[in-house]
């Protein structure tokens, strides 16, 4: 039985082209080296002694840079191609991570975080578009999940290693490892993957004569963006307020917090691809799956109201992990499938901007609520927002059904 289950799990990873595996590999290397993000709020608060408000504003700068980078990455991907954007983004952000550790002033860190995230997050829309080129159409959702698995496997290793590096080398060691992983990842990509042009719009089509669909008039897409914004804003408390909560409420060390965050990556690694395969095989409604994900994320914070029982921290991480498994890969797929040919960069740029805007909102909102009202109020607020996302999914599903009927 165990052998059958293992064979079934391995079968979920078959059918990918070589380039997709290389994209997953460099993503794993890069994410395993991304040790600054899980400890950033803790570093700013405890090592540089900023107030909650100052930490919040630095994270706002982080998010604003991420938004600009996502938009620029999407626009430039449609104009000059995903390959050049990916190379520029990873190599340059690697160099900037080396420099960032020497900036300790408030305004310097605001500008530094804005600049580095502008360049770093140009990578994301370009990477999504690259998957639409290198992956077979029937494997697109699984390819997205494979790269996400690489991200989460990297995050499973990263926080634990990061906690050990902090103990042994201090926070500066994180910046050296983060920057090095960016450069190593893109060197592997350049050496092993050839640049490939996107598939033509259609046989005989002249791109200059194609009438483009305005993304700004695509109402279901904007409702999807709003829904994902809420889910991501709530989920990303796992990287901003939750590590502080672990430390201040339960006295956990960086290593212990890293172990809890690593559980998130491990669960995603074990369960996301099988769940995606089942949903694809049975052709289940992806919007409903996203709604179940939003529900899990909501309860992931509401259970923290039982704050006198330390095992609740593990239950919270489990709920948040399954929320991520259900919401994130299918929202990526819905957004990419909605994009017309030749506009994938623009659509995915706006999609990744919703993640960046969520970074801004989650950091500032969560930290301000904690500073004025405490952790329990923040968990109630975030749990309620998760329920709002569920209602948005129901509305979006009805919109898409109506749209399908009108086009039939």
- pLDDT attached to residue 398: 93
Domain assignment of residue 78, yes or no: yes
pLDDT computed for residue 321 by the predictor: 93
- Nearest-CA neighbor of 191 among 26, 24, 33? 26
Which range, 245-259, 274-288, 292-306, has the best average confidence (pLDDT)? Answer: 292-306
pLDDT above 80 for 113: yes
Helix 52-80 × helix 106-120 angle, to 10°: 30
Contact 59, 240 (CB under 8 A): yes
Query: Is pLDDT at 50 greater than 60 in this prediction?
Result: yes
Q: Which is more confidently placed, 373 or 152?
A: 373
Has residue 36 been placed in a domain? Answer: yes
- Model pLDDT for residues 228-253, shown as the tens digit of each residue: 999 999 998 988 888 888 888 888 88
Over residues 371-393, the mean pLDDT reads: 94
Q: How confident is the model at residue 204 (pLDDT cuts 50, 70, 90)?
A: very low
Q: Mean pLDDT over residues 65-80, rounded?
A: 85
pLDDT in tens, 2-33: 677 677 677 777 778 888 888 888 877 766 65
The burial class, CB within 10 Å (0-12 / 13-18 / 19+), for 54 is: middle
Q: How far apart are CA 178 and CA 161, in angstroms?
A: 12
Higher-confidence residue: 321 or 339? 321
Per-residue confidence (pLDDT) for residue 207, from 0 to 100: 45
Asked whether residue 99 is assigned to any structural domain, the reply reads yes
Mean pLDDT across 346-374: 83
Position 204 in a domain? no
Quick check: is 206 in a domain?
no
Can you give the residue range of the structural domain that contains 332?
15-195+217-407
Each residue of 181-190: pLDDT tens digit?
888 888 988 9
Determine, yes or no, domain membership for 97.
Answer: yes
Average pLDDT for 54-63: 82
Counting residues of the chain whose pLDDT is more than 70, the rounded percentage is 90
On whether the CB atoms of residues 178 and 187 are closer than 8 A, the answer is no
211 inside domain: no
Are 199 and 324 a contacting pair, CB within 8 Å? no
Give the per-residue pLDDT at 282: 86
What b-and-e string marks burial along 24-36, b requiring 16 or more CB atoms within 10 Å of the CB?
Answer: bbbbbbbbbbbbb
Residues 6 or more apart from 162 whose CB is under 8 A from it? 35, 36, 38, 39, 174, 177, 254, 258
Average pLDDT, the chain: 83
Q: Is the pLDDT of residue 223 over 90?
A: yes
- Write the CATH number for 185: 1.20.1250.20
The predicted model gives 43-65 an average pLDDT of 82
pLDDT score, position 51: 85
**Whether 38 contacts 174, CB under 8 Å:** no
Domain count, the chain: 1
Decide if pLDDT at 212 tops 70: no
What CA–CA distance (Å, rounded) separates 351 from 371? Answer: 31
Statement: residue 213 has pLDDT above 50:
yes
Residue-level pLDDT at 48: 85
Q: Residue 354 and residue 359: Cα distance in Å, rounded?
A: 9
Residue 279 belongs to a domain: yes
pLDDT in tens, 295-319: 999 999 999 998 777 888 999 999 9
pLDDT digit string, tens, across residues 124-183: 888 888 887 888 777 777 887 788 777 767 766 776 777 777 777 777 888 888 888 888
The mean pLDDT value for 340-359 works out to: 80
């Amino acid at each position: 039985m165990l052998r059958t289950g293992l064979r079934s799990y391995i079968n979920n990873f078959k059918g990918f082209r070589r380039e997709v595996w290389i994209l997953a590999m460099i993503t794993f290397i890069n994410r395993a080296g991304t040790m600054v993000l899980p400890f950033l709020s803790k570093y700013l608060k405890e090592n540089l002694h900023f107030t909650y408000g100052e930490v919040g504003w630095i994270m706002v700068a982080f998010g604003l840079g991420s938004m600009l980078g996502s938009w620029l990455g999407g626009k430039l991907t449609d104009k000059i191609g995903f390959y050049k954007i990916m190379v520029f983004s990873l190599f340059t952000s690697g160099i900037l991570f080396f420099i960032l550790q020497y900036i300790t002033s408030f305004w310097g860190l605001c500008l530094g975080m804005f600049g580095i995230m502008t360049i770093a997050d140009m990578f994301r829309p370009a990477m999504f578009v690259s998957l639409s080129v290198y992956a077979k159409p029937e494997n697109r959702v699984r390819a997205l999940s494979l790269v996400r698995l690489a991200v989460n496997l990297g995050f499973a290793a990263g926080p634990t290693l990061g906690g050990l590096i902090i103990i042994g080398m201090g926070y500066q060691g994180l910046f050296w490892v983060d920057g090095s992983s960016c450069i190593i990842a893109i060197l592997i990509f350049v050496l092993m993957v050839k640049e490939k042009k996107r598939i033509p719009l259609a046989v005989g089509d002249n791109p200059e004569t194609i009438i483009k669909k305005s993304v700004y008039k695509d109402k279901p897409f904007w409702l999807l963006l709003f829904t994902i914004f809420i889910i991501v804003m709530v989920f990303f408390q796992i990287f901003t307020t939750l590590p502080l909560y672990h430390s201040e409420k339960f006295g956990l060390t960086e290593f212990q917090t890293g172990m809890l965050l690593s559980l998130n990556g491990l669960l995603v690694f074990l369960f996301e691809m099988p769940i995606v395969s089942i949903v694809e095989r049975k052709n289940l409604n992806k919007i409903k799956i996203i709604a179940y994900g939003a529900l899990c994320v909501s309860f992931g914070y509401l259970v923290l109201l039982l704050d006198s029982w330390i095992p609740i921290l593990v239950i919270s991480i489990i709920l948040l992990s399954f929320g991520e498994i259900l919401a994130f890969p299918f929202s990526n797929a819905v957004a990419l499938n909605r994009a017309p040919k030749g506009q994938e960069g623009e659509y995915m740029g706006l999609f990744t901007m919703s993640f960046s805007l969520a970074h801004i909102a989650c950091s500032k909102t969560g930290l301000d609520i904690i500073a004025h009202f405490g952790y329990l109020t923040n968990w109630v607020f975030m749990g309620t927002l998760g329920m709002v996302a569920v209602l948005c999914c129901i509305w979006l599903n009805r919109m898409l059904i109506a749209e399908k009927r009108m086009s039939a």
